[in-house]
Amino acid sequence: MGFNLAWLHPFWALGLPIALSFPIGWSMFRSLDPAPDRVGRGLDALPMFLCRLLGRRKPAEMDWKRYALAFLAFNMALFVLTFGLLYAQQYLPLNPDGKGSLGALGYKDAAGVDHPGADTGVVFNTICSFVTNTNLQHYSGEQHLSYFSQMGGIVWLQFVTPAAGLAVMLAVIRGLRGDKTMGDFYVDLMRILVFVFLPLCVILALVLVANGMPMTFEGAVKASPLDGAAAKMDTQTICRGPVAALAAVKQIGTNGGGFFGPNSAHPYENPSVWSNLIEITEIVVLPMASLVMLGLMLKNRAHAAVIYGAMLAFLVVGVVLAVHYEVQPSAATENLAVVQGPNMEGKEVRAGAISGATWAAMTTATSNGSVNSMHDSLNPIAGMVAMSNLMLNVVFSGIGAGFLNMLMYIIVAVFLAGLMVGRTPEYLGKKVEAKEVKLAMMAILLHPLLILAGAGLFAATDWGAKTTANPGPHGFSEILYEFSSACANNGSGFEGLGDNTPAWNVATGFVLLMGRFPPILLPLALAGCLATKKLVPQTAGTLKTDNLTFFGMLVGTVLLVGALSFMPALVLGPVADHLMAMKP
């Protein structure tokens, strides 16, 4: 038997973004953090000109509090504007198929009874989802949103929300290196849009169109069967639209979501093997590149390499485990008169089990959440890999947000190391004291609190128990995954779950907001505290954060906190599911 070329896919999917992250990271460093004498000069004149059109004549010198207020005010404006847009889409242009208000979508209750009519909950959940760069969808885009809502609402948010996260990362880095000001949020945002997202998305959209992805504002097509039986059956409605524009930014911005309900398993949203490789590369390349930018901005490439290496180690292990368990037969086919092969349940046949498992590991390692297979159909341990990535939330994660999450673990690792050697812990030449440790622990512990409290409440009540498609451990996994995905700002789901109910929409909407804003603002406050401290001279006892020893401490800290927080829930869910499926 010849070599199966599908086995090359994980190597390409990991190798390409790693290779591209270095030139892109260098470009981000040059364009997003210009020296004082280059501000507003050369290429930087364009974002500064656009800022002046908005009334800002020169960059403001913001401390962490002003930067945080600007970030929150911007997101509040996004929330209000998009809420109105989705409610009024039936009155707006670019609606050739006559879509009504998303607020009139309705829902099914726990007993499966339809409740048509107004449902503010789904609009609230959708806005929370896209404003927080999560893109959790309790609706189907091609069925419920107009082209104007897709482009003017969803795609617009998919540009500005990851840009806002990266802007906060820039501010935190400036604080860590001791700058007098943490920058200007609006100037940072404009530079990121002009120099990072717009050029990359234009190029990627053109490449995806060349691969067969639709990009049109014409309405759905009515098609008749080719076998001459049109008179005996209804015609088929084939949805289309400006798909390439959304697909390009949803991947490169670690947004996720999809123009179509099946997401990147839909042939119009992922038409070929090449589009599949391009999209999976997009998922992780900017989170990787942001760490290259980190090393250049701090002038400490070795420390950035330790962080990059720790995240990459988690990602590689996750991909290996997911692929290994997905090429095993599904327990559902045991003792059946069928050929035993890879688990193809819920897989796009063109992609296969290896591609599906690789994508599942990589999309949950970032805050992307797009899928090219159904995660609810993954074998239990492969599903646990995806769920564990969401629970750790530091495996590259979102653009900017991934480093902010890992920074909290870095502070804890430095503090623990200081306790071991009996000296005051230091990070990048600044003393880490009680205030910084408290901020770090608040950010770390909030994540499991939101996930486990939500999952426990819904598993114990009809809000969750009657919305699962499966009983027992797998049903609990569906509930646990939904809260993990919402809190990690990921957006994927175990889609056997009937999650479009008022209870799910409100609960996950709250978790979406709490999983996004405190974990971004707490690192900003921490960097603001460190920025005011004096540099401490290095001595023989100074803990180095740029070697293999610290790499091991950082990985160990993440695993220790993750295991203590989530292991009991994982045992009740995917581990029990796996053990029940094993042969007696």
DSSP 376-402: GGS-HHHHHHHHHHHHH--SS-STTHH
Q: How far apart are alpha carbons 317 and 319 in whole angstroms? A: 6
Contact 531, 428 (CB under 8 A): no
| pLDDT the model gives residue 369 | 87
pLDDT at 345: 85
* C-alpha torsion 372→375→379→382, nearest 10: 80
Catalogue the E-assigned strands of 144-242: 221-223, 236-238
d(CA 563, CA 570): 9
Looking at residue 293, its pLDDT comes to: 96
CA distance 378 to 485: 16
Whole-angstrom Cα distance, residue 185 to residue 282? 25
Q: One digit per residue, pLDDT tens: the chain, 584 residues?
A: 345 677 888 999 999 999 999 999 999 999 999 988 888 888 888 888 888 887 767 788 899 999 999 999 999 999 998 888 887 788 877 777 777 766 555 555 555 555 554 467 788 888 898 899 988 887 776 777 888 888 888 888 999 999 999 999 999 999 999 888 899 999 999 999 999 999 999 999 999 999 999 988 887 787 776 665 555 556 777 888 888 888 899 999 988 888 888 888 888 999 988 999 999 999 999 999 999 999 999 999 999 999 999 999 999 999 999 999 999 888 777 767 666 788 888 888 888 889 999 999 999 999 888 999 999 999 999 999 999 999 999 999 889 889 999 999 999 999 988 887 777 788 988 899 889 999 999 999 999 999 999 999 999 999 999 899 888 899 999 999 999 999 999 989 888 888 888 899 999 999 999 999 999 999 999 999 999 988 888 777 778 888 999 999 999 999 999 889 999 999 999 999 998 877 65
| Residue of 211, 263, 267, 209 lying closest to 238 (CA atoms) | 267
Residue of 13, 64, 66, 61 whose CA lies nearest to 36: 61
Please tell me the distance from the alpha carbon of residue 137 to that of residue 394, in angstroms, as a whole number. 23
Question: 23, 21, 26, 524: which is closest to 296 by C-alpha?
Answer: 26
Q: Would you state the pLDDT for residue 229?
A: 53
Cβ-based neighbour number of residue 261 at 10 Å: 17
Determine contact, residues 498/108, Cβ cutoff 8 Å.
Answer: yes
pLDDT at 202: 94
Domain residues of the chain, as ranges? 5-224+235-333+340-581
Q: With the C-alpha atoms ordered 360, 363, 369, 371, is the resulting torsion angle positive or negative?
A: negative
Q: Which residues contact 128 (CB under 8 A, 6 or more apart)?
A: 79, 134, 508, 509, 510, 512, 513
Q: Please give the Cα distance from 435 to 1 (Å, whole number).
A: 62
